[in-house]
Amino acid sequence: MTDNLFFFLASLTLLCALMVVISKNPVHSVLFLILTFFTITAHYVLLNAQFLAAVNIIVYAGAIMVLFLFVIMFLNQNQERVKTSLISKFTGTIAGGLLFVVLIAAMKEATVRTYNPETFDSQIGMVENLGKVLFGDYLLPFELASVLFLVAMVGAVMLGKKEVGEKHF
């Protein structure tokens, strides 16, 4: 039962993620990204990581998607379409193909662990254990991510700031 649910969620996640990239309307892309976040949240629930599931819904599907929609509507990109050249399409295809090759190579090296009920820890995805790992082993990447978010917020404020005498388009 769990295997069937996992494969259904995995295929739905991949389909929604593909639609994010394929959709021509940016608002539709954001809506598909919200669906992708919901399916990833379901994966977290299957992995017994309830805290990460709740954070994913609150932070990503809630706050960040509202921010993306605001930026899309703020920039008003629907008025003019940018024509892409053949070189950029070719370069994008090459980059996507190389990313696919790297993904396949990484999947070939991955090992699937089996479930052992004697050594299974049901508290692995709980807040206390996550905090110990996050603020212990991964303290530097966590702090670097917080500095990156701070720089992004300052950049968003600077982009949205209107100068005196500037026309509103």
pLDDT of 169 over the 60 cut: no
Average pLDDT of the chain? Answer: 83
Q: Output phi, psi for 9, to 5 deg.
A: -65, -35
Spatial neighbors of 35 by CB under 8 A, at least 6 apart, are 12, 16
- Residue 102 pLDDT: 93
For a pLDDT cut of 70, what percent of the chain falls above it? 90
The answer to whether the CB of 37 falls within 8 A of the CB of 61 is yes
Q: Give me the mean pLDDT over the 113-137 stretch.
A: 77
Q: Would you say residue 168 lies in a domain? A: no
Same domain for 143 and 107: no
Positive or negative: CA dihedral 135, 103, 28, 39: negative
Q: Give me the mean pLDDT over the 108-123 stretch.
A: 76
Q: Tens digits of per-residue pLDDT, 144-155?
A: 998 998 998 888
Same domain for 68 and 1: yes
Q: Give me the mean pLDDT over the 4-9 stretch.
A: 92
Same domain for 2 and 50: yes
* CA gap 130, 124 in Å, rounded: 8
Residue-range definition of the domain harbouring residue 106: 83-112
* pLDDT tier, 76 (very low <50, low <70, confident <90, very high otherwise): low
Q: Would you say residue 74 lies in a domain? A: yes
Q: Tens digits of per-residue pLDDT, 35-72?
A: 999 999 999 998 888 888 888 898 888 888 888 777 77
* CA gap 76, 64 in Å, rounded: 18
- Lookup result for tokens 């605001």: 70
Q: Would you say residue 121 lies in a domain? A: no
Same domain for 101 and 139: no
Same domain for 35 and 93: no
* CA gap 67, 59 in Å, rounded: 11
